[in-house]
Structure 1
Amino acid sequence: MRYSASFGGPATPAPAPRQGVRPALFYGMFATLLCANALTATAFVFSSDIAKLWNRQDDQVVAAYEDRIAQLRVEVDRLHSRSYAQAGDINLQLQELSQQQEVLLEQHQLVKVLVDKAGQLGIDSAALPTATGAPDIAPLAMNSGNAEIDATATAISQMMGETQFAMTSIAETATQRTRNIVTELTGLGIRVDLPSEDADGVGGPLLAAVDGADASSPMIDDANAVMAALVRYKAARDTIDTAPVHMPISGSFRQSSGFGNRTDPFTGRRAFHSGLDFAATSGTIVLSAGAGVVSFVGQQSGYGNVVEVTHANGLITRYAHLSGFLSEVGQRVNTGSPIAKVGSTGRSTGPHLHFEVRRDDMAINPKTFIEAGKRLTALLG
């Protein structure tokens, strides 16, 4: 037993040293707690809500997503400032993180433009799949042994995959809708003029390649491909406006007679009826079934007062038995433009609109056009 002596007194036993926490264990516990907090914070900040962004639910969601990107940049900068940023391969990994962060920001800006353009064309939350089914892109090759670096790399990879998925969804939706429109209109004998997928003019002298001077990145190429799909879709939509596939009347009406052979209301014998009849009160507004030019306003035998509109692809729509005119020859009209009023002039038993679709002076069943118009309207939402 050890004793300590004091001046003027007997020796007393020295207190035994306390058993403390070993330094290695202390720092290990501290590091574990720090990494766990970093992982939790990263998961909280960068949790997946990209689907809400592409669903265009609220401008605040867009701002929140951009805040996530900004916070991610702060996280990358913070990692750079730590002391281990100078330790071997970790410094290179942090530089790669910074580069990927810049790519993510650029990708996000491109997708914002594309989402806005798609929204203008009616491709919105009803058309875009959510990101929950998005395929994962290859994650950043980070196995630094530092949980904060690896978690941030995973967050960047996830967000890049989601934005890429959003671009793919827009392109696929636009392309499928374009195909459906072309199918419907082609079935009516209406040609749809679409920009060629390789219509961009390019050229220049043939020079040797220069390292690091690529004209565009794969990301830019992807964005251009999406924009090209949207341009083709817009051209297809514009063709719908010119096609006479829309209802020529609105409000209270009923179809009183169809296209084809029927019992003639005056003779009681079988006769051919060249259009659709919509019974409505006299004075009900008659609408142009598609964009075109008014080519006739006047009277025709059996039809009474008539308006005709010439459309693209050699189609003419005829509106008969009218009580009044709201258009004149040479006037350009759009789909739904008021052009006349329902009446009972000519060979008619009561107020109704007689509607015809004609090509090469031959009557075509208008119901085929009206039904196609309904399907296209449903397609466009």
Structure 2
Amino acid sequence: MFAVLFAGNGLLVTALLLAPDIARLLSGQNEQVIEAYENRIAQLRVEVDRLHSRSYAQAGDINLQLQELAQQQEVLIEQHQLVRVLVDKADELGIEAAALPADEAGNMALAPSSGGNPDIDATAAAIAQMMDETQFAMTSIAETATKRTDSIVAELSGLGIAVDLPSELEGVGGPLLLPRDDGEASATVDDANAVMAALIRYKAARDGIDGAPIHMPISGNFRQSSGFGNRTDPFTGGRAFHSGLDFAAPKGTTVLSAGKGVVSFVGTKSGYGNVVEVTHANGLISRYGHLSGFLSEVGQAVNTGTPIAKVGSTGRSTGPHLHFEVRKADSAINPKAFLEAGKRLLALLG
């Protein structure tokens, strides 16, 4: 019994000492947590020595309550470990989980009651509070990931772009066995798996953003000089259809790929002068015209922002500018809708 009680209180001290780490992890201070581990280990050794010198061998309900606390401690420690994994994954995807409420439990010691026994009620309350907070951490990550995924899917769907999201039931199987009643530990693992599934779906949605031509194809000193649709033709003075957006910029300004894809054309086209085309997912093609030079070649894989050409005034042009088009099935689509969606998504991702 002494050994059981000693081990249980050791686990409790570990959980109490590590609880503040959750708040720091959720604020992105992983390095500070790691640096603090040596100090916390030293504190833990002192606390274990102190507990070793005390006797908790009591009869009756106190022992039963201490055993229940030891079980709760195991669940708490498992929760803490799962939260660390989930927070690291969320950090990789740019999600900052909500900070936990201020918690002084990590600095609490087991205060003896008037009868000389540990204050079991206060300890149980501290454990319950930390369990609620770790659950809150997992819930906040899942909610943020799900909300962002839904927003991305809505934006891209409005552009006619389908996002391939993995199913929650994809890649699972096994024999049909009777369920086991593992209590709170099993529920904790299920919750963590649900959060990880939400993060995986969010990553797939983010990959969909990268593959769409929704980012500005030019940076620096430029202005939009002509829009998409009917306009007065600069050469004939009559009404004519303009199939893209024009961005006036100094000759030689770098032209950037508007999304991830593969360069599918480098050369000249009638009216466009020098042209680069990039083929993206969902059958979309971005076209860049009136170029003064090429920085890419056919078959080259490019990412969003990859330099592919230089601004010029070749072809049917009145001066240096980039003509930017988005096309599908050989039909021009208004690029402004794509670029506006890109701005909203960039703001969403922070």
Q: TM-score, normalised by structure 2?
A: 0.84
Distance 2:34 2:291 in 1: 52
Structure exhibiting the larger radius of gyration computed from Cα positions: 1
1:160 aligns with 2:131: yes
2:25 pairs with 53, 62, 81, which one? 53
Taking the TM superposition and a 5 Å limit, the aligned residue runs for 1:10-159 are 50-57=22-29, 59-61=31-33, 82-124=54-96, 128-132=97-101, 148-159=119-130
Aligned to 1:356: 325
Secondary structure, in 3 states, of the residue corresponding to 1:86? Answer: coil
Secondary structure, in 3 states, of the residue corresponding to 1:201? Answer: coil
Aligned to 1:23: none
Taking the TM superposition and a 5 Å limit, the aligned residue runs for 1:283-302 are 283-302=252-271
8 A Cα contact 1:118 1:170, kept in partner: yes
Secondary structure, in 3 states, of the residue corresponding to 1:132? Answer: coil
Distance 1:61 1:122 in 2: 19
Aligned to 1:31: none
RMSD: 3.0
Secondary structure, in 3 states, of the residue corresponding to 1:297? Answer: strand
Aligned to 1:184: 155
Structure 2: gaps (5+ residues): 1-15, 104-112
Distance 1:45 1:108 in 2: 11
Identity of aligned residues (%): 76
Taking the TM superposition and a 5 Å limit, the aligned residue runs for 1:230-379 are 230-379=199-348
Q: TM-score, normalised by structure 1?
A: 0.77
8 A Cα contact 1:79 1:94, kept in partner: no
Distance 2:38 2:193 in 1: 22
Secondary structure, in 3 states, of the residue corresponding to 1:85? Answer: coil
Distance 1:231 1:376 in 2: 18
Give 1:80 deviation, angstroms.
Answer: 8.4
8 A Cα contact 2:272 2:314, kept in partner: yes
Taking the TM superposition and a 5 Å limit, the aligned residue runs for 1:214-225 are 217-225=186-194
- Amino acid paired to 2:208: T
CA shift digits 1:35-74 (9 cap, x unpaired): xxxxxxxxx9799785443122453246659977997898
- Amino acid paired to 2:150: R
Secondary structure, in 3 states, of the residue corresponding to 1:218? Answer: helix
Higher-RCO chain (CA-CA 8 Å, sequence separation at least 6)? 2
Distance 2:217 2:269 in 1: 20
8 A Cα contact 1:248 1:288, kept in partner: yes
8 A Cα contact 2:22 2:80, kept in partner: no
* Further displaced range: 73-82 or 49-58: 73-82
Structure 1: gaps (5+ residues): 1-43, 135-143
* Further displaced range: 47-56 or 260-269: 47-56
Query: Closer, same or farther in 2 for the Cα pair 1:48/1:330, shift >3 Å?
Result: closer
CA shift digits 1:145-179 (9 cap, x unpaired): 85622222221111111111100000010000000
Residues paired across the two proteins, number: 324
Aligned to 1:16: none
Query: Closer, same or farther in 2 for the Cα pair 1:65/1:99, shift >3 Å?
Result: farther
Distance 1:151 1:308 in 2: 67
* Further displaced range: 147-156 or 245-254: 147-156
Query: Closer, same or farther in 2 for the Cα pair 1:66/1:199, shift >3 Å?
Result: farther
- Amino acid paired to 1:200: G
1:201 pairs with 158, 172, 188, which one? 172
Give 1:233 deviation, angstroms.
Answer: 0.2
